[in-house]
Structure formats: structure tokens, C-alpha cells
């Protein structure tokens, strides 16, 4: 089990009471020093450094990732975890409520966007519970939520070229008010949308995950 950002140990302590050993990632040197003094040697394995740069795959496979993620880097951290999905069994983390709503959003909703598509491509996700500001000290100005993420095995809609898939999703959502015709005009003509059976007058938020995969496979030459 790997905890991201243990801080003062609010989650670390109950975890250590149930586990033989816990890996923790912490970037703050002062907190690292406190952790080393607060926990017996061997009860936690401290990895000092930036979670955004950490190679989760180096710890092996079947990882269970937990934590109260830093809200200011939550999106890049989620994308970083997605790159290591092959090594991960599941993820249970707390995030800003608005971010969790975007993660689990369905097509044709205001919350549905690039984060929704890219994470749902890799994970099955569930918003487990909401956490009010009063649960924290000091009290934050935002609401929080707890989310469960389990990597798909196998992927339900695998793209032949995942970087191309990511690029098309990013371009489609770069300007949310633009239609697909305008947002993706550098890659697709009207005839291309017609062959795929996709209305170019729709906006990105109206497409399902599988539609984006078909667009990417077509652009990469994998669909006729």
C-alpha cells in the first residue's frame, strides 16, 4: 500500500495499525523528519520527493494507492497515476469535490471534459462519499469527496494509438463551446465525420468515450 502525502499522519497511523509495512511519498523535508521520529523503523518506508516524478512501477505490481491528494496538483497527479495503471490494483483518494464530479461525469453534462474521458479510458471510477469542510483543521474553503478508481483489465475501448487518442481528446475540449467541426478541423473533414457516423455539429462534451477512440483510430489509419 502506498500513501501519497502523509502529512502529519492522520491517515498513516490507522493504516500502520493494520499493515505490516506502508510506503509513503512526501516532498516536505520537515514532515519527513517528523515521520521518521513518529513511526518505528520498518513500519513505514519513506520515499522523499515529488509524487509527480515518482515511478510507482518500481514498487512492483498490485499496488493500492491511498491519500488526501494535494488539491493544487490533483489533475497532473491523476494523469501521472494513470500512466502507472498497469502496476496498480486500486486507488482510494480524497480530492476537491468539483474534481471528483468531473472524474465520474457522464457525457452531455457540464462536468464532462478531458479529465473525464482520459481517466474513464483507464479506470472504473466511483464517487464514494462527500466530506464537508468541517472535517478538516483548518477548515478549507472547498468541499471534498472520496473516490475509488480501479484500472480496467482489459481496457473496454482500447485505442490503437494512445498518444493520438489523448491529443484528439485535448483538442476537442480545448474550446468547449466549439463544435467538433471547428475544434477538430485540422484532422477531420466533413466526409470523415460522415463515415464515422458522428455529427460534426456536436460539441466534445456530447461524445462518449468510444466515440473519441473511433476518431483516434480513424485518424491513425486503423479504421477505413
Encode pLDDT of 109-135 as tens digits.
999 999 999 999 999 999 999 999 998
Our measurement of the distance from residue 151's CA atom to the centroid of its chain's CA atoms, rounded to an integer in Å, reads: 11
Q: Which fold has domain 2-151?
A: Rossmann fold (3.40.50)
pLDDT recorded at residue 108: 97
Q: What is the pLDDT of residue 224?
A: 65
175-189 pLDDT tens trace: 999 999 999 999 999
**Strand 2-4, strand 22-26: pairing:** parallel
- Average pLDDT along the chain, 224 residues, taken 10 residues at a time: 94 94 95 93 93 96 95 94 97 96 98 98 97 90 96 97 98 96 97 97 98 98 84
Residue-range domain boundaries for the chain: 2-151, 162-219
Cα angle: 137, vertex 143, 147; to 5 degrees: 105
Burial class (CB in 10 A: 0-12, 13-18, 19+), 119: buried
Q: Which three cell numbers stand for residue 104?
A: 465520474
The predicted structure's pLDDT at residue 19: 94
Q: What CATH number was assigned to the domain covering residues 162-219?
A: 1.10.8.100
Amino acid at each position: 500500500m502506498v500513501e501519497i502525502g502523509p502529512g502529519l499522519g492522520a491517515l498513516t497511523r490507522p493504516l500502520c495499525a493494520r499493515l505490516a509495512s506502508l510506503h509513503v511519498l512526501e516532498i516536505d523535508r520537515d514532515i519527513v523528519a517528523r515521520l521518521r521520529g513518529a513511526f518505528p523503523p520498518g513500519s513505514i518506508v519513506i520515499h522523499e520527493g515529488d509524487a509527480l516524478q515518482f515511478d510507482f512501477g518500481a514498487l512492483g505490481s498490485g499496488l493500492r494507492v491511498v491519500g488526501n491528494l494535494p488539491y493544487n496538483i490533483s489533475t497532473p497527479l491523476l494523469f501521472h497515476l494513470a500512466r502507472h495503471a498497469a502496476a496498480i490494483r486500486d486507488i482510494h483518494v480524497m480530492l476537491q469535490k468539483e474534481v471528483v464530479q468531473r472524474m465520474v461525469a457522464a457525457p452531455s453534462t457540464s462536468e464532462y471534459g478531458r479529465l473525464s474521458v482520459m481517466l474513464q479510458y483507464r479506470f472504473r471510477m466511483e464517487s464514494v462519499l462527500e466530506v464537508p469542510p468541517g472535517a478538516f483543521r483548518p477548515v478549507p474553503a472547498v468541499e471534498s469527496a472520496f473516490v475509488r478508481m480501479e484500472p480496467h483489465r482489459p481496457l473496454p475501448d482500447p485505442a490503437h494509438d494512445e498518444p493520438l487518442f489523448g491529443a484528439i481528446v485535448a483538442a476537442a475540449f480545448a474550446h468547449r463551446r466549439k463544435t467538433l467541426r471547428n475544434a477538430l478541423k485540422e484532422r477531420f473533414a466533413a466526409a470523415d465525420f460522415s463515415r464515422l457516423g458522428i455529427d460534426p455539429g456536436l460539441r466534445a462534451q456530447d461524445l462518449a468515450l468510444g466515440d473519441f477512440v473511433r476518431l483516434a483510430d480513424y485518424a491513425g489509419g486503423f479504421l477505413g
